[in-house]
């Protein structure tokens, strides 16, 4: 089994790496060296509408997301996801979009990752709306919570290195087709085998670079084309990102608790502008990848 897994790992790596550098680590340097080889084509993009409503007839905790004065994150993200699906399939010939949810019902983050991996996605785009926690002020010896509506604009998230074991599990189970992999064990690859470790680390580093580069392209469209404020591209331990065995970006499309952003996020023109910016970034990314793979 170990030899079988190692062969699949080598095969997968050969499809991903062109000129990999083992020693680059800063964010800016990771925006380069982002393309796989051997005639690779982007064929499937998974679009994830963050959060959702409690499915009828179910009990338990569901994260319904942020809310504004009159709207909810779950509704905004679904509207944008449906528009993004149509736009990508219209403007990016030959690319299929898989949605993690197409109804009001919420889907667990585990299921979202599973949908993406089962679809053998080339990219994963998760759509969200941001919000700030209340400010805490002290008045007459009491703590008072005051809504903070000062957040504005976009934010792009990629997964950080501290979720590396979970990413290894996703790659082992989904990219490499390791049917025998079990959670919390090492059957997917041997951590004591230097070749296996180097190959796995190379795949993880390549996905990280691709994720950061795609996030940077999307962010540039928002800022330079749409004139929106941005808090940039940052790392976070987002579970749904590190469990998808592909380059993955979470897009915070705006602060739904800011009145101006909320109006923008709920307007047809605002949603269309967000979708158009993401599509332009995806087209640029796809061209880079496929040109370099020829």
Which whole-number Å values give the CA distances from 221 to 81, 130, 131, 227, 281, in the listed order?
18, 19, 22, 9, 7
What is the pLDDT at residue 26?
Answer: 37
Q: Kindly state whether residue 245 falls inside one of the protein's structural domains.
A: yes
Q: Look at the pTM and tell me if it is higher than 0.85.
A: no
Q: Residues 6 or more apart from 90 whose CB is under 8 A from it?
A: none
Q: Residues 6 or more apart from 161 whose CB is under 8 A from it?
A: 208, 235
Q: Kindly state whether residue 113 falls inside one of the protein's structural domains.
A: yes
CATH of the domain at 238: 3.40.630.40
What is the pLDDT at residue 22?
Answer: 32
Query: How many beta carbons lie within 10 A of that of residue 221, not counting itself?
Result: 22
What is the pLDDT at residue 131?
Answer: 95
Which whole-number Å values give the CA distances from 244 to 52, 166, 169, 249, in the listed order?
20, 9, 10, 10
What is the pLDDT at residue 238?
Answer: 84
What is the pLDDT at residue 139?
Answer: 84
What is the pLDDT at residue 182?
Answer: 45
Q: Kindly state whether residue 236 falls inside one of the protein's structural domains.
A: yes
HEC profile of the chain:
CHHHHHHHHHHHHHHHCCCCCCCCCCHHHHCCCCCCCCCCCCCEEEEEECCCECCCCCCCCCCCCCECCCCEHHHHHHHHHHHHHHHHHHHCCCCEEEECCCCCECCCHHHHHHHHHHCCCCEEEEEEEECCCCEEEEECCEEEEECCCCCCCEEEEEECHHHHHHHHHHHHHHHCCCCCCCCCCCCCCCCCCHHHHHHHHHHHHHHHHHHHHHHHHHHHHHHHHCCCCEEEEEEECCHHHHCCCCCEEEEEEEECCCHHHHHHHHCHHHHHHHHHHHHHHHHHHHHHHHHHHC
The pLDDT averaged over each successive group of 10 residues in the chain (294 residues) is 50 46 38 56 96 67 80 96 98 96 91 92 97 89 90 93 60 56 48 64 82 97 98 90 91 98 98 98 95 80
Q: Kindly state whether residue 59 falls inside one of the protein's structural domains.
A: no
Q: Kindly state whether residue 56 falls inside one of the protein's structural domains.
A: no
Q: Kindly state whether residue 178 falls inside one of the protein's structural domains.
A: yes
What is the pLDDT at residue 186?
Answer: 44
Give the range of the structural domain holding residue 235, as residue numbers without chain letter.
2-18+27-51+64-293
What is the pLDDT at residue 161?
Answer: 62
- Whose tokens are 């952003």? That residue is 261
**Number of compact structural domains in the chain:** 1
Residue 126 near residue 159 (C-beta atoms within 8 A): no
What is the pLDDT at residue 190?
Answer: 60
Q: Kindly state whether residue 58 falls inside one of the protein's structural domains.
A: no
What is the pLDDT at residue 198?
Answer: 66
What is the pLDDT at residue 19?
Answer: 34
Query: How many beta carbons lie within 10 A of that of residue 9, not counting itself?
Result: 24
Q: Kindly state whether residue 220 falls inside one of the protein's structural domains.
A: yes
């Amino acid at each position: 089994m170990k030899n079988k897994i190692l062969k699949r790992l080598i095969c997968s790596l050969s499809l991903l790496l062109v000129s990999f550098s083992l020693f680059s680590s800063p964010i800016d340097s990771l925006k380069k060296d982002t393309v796989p080889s051997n005639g690779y084509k982007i064929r499937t993009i998974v679009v994830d509408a963050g959060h959702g409503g409690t499915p009828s007839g179910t009990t338990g905790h569901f994260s319904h997301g942020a809310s504004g004065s009159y709207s909810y994150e779950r509704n905004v993200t679904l509207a944008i996801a449906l528009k993004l699906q149509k736009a990508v399939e219209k403007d990016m010939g030959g690319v299929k979009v898989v949605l993690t949810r197409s109804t009001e019902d919420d889907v667990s983050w585990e299921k979202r990752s599973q949908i993406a991996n089962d679809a053998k996605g080339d990219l994963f785009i998760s759509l969200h709306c941001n919000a700030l926690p209340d400010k805490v002020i002290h008045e007459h010896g009491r703590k008072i919570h005051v809504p903070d509506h000062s957040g504005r604009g976009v934010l792009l998230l990629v997964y950080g290195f501290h979720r590396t074991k979970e990413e290894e599990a996703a790659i082992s189970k989904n990219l490499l087709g390791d049917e025998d992999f079990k959670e919390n064990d090492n059957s997917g690859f041997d951590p004591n085998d230097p070749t296996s470790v180097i190959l796995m680390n190379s795949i993880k580093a390549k996905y990280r670079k691709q994720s950061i580069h795609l996030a940077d392209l999307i962010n540039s469209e928002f800022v330079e084309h749409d004139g929106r404020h941005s808090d940039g591209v940052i790392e976070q331990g987002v579970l749904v990102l590190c469990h998808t065995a592909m380059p993955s970006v979470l897009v915070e499309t705006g602060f739904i608790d800011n009145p101006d952003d909320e109006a923008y996020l709920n307007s047809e023109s605002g949603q269309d502008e967000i979708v158009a910016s993401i599509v332009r970034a995806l087209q640029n990314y796809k061209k880079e990848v496929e040109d370099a793979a020829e």
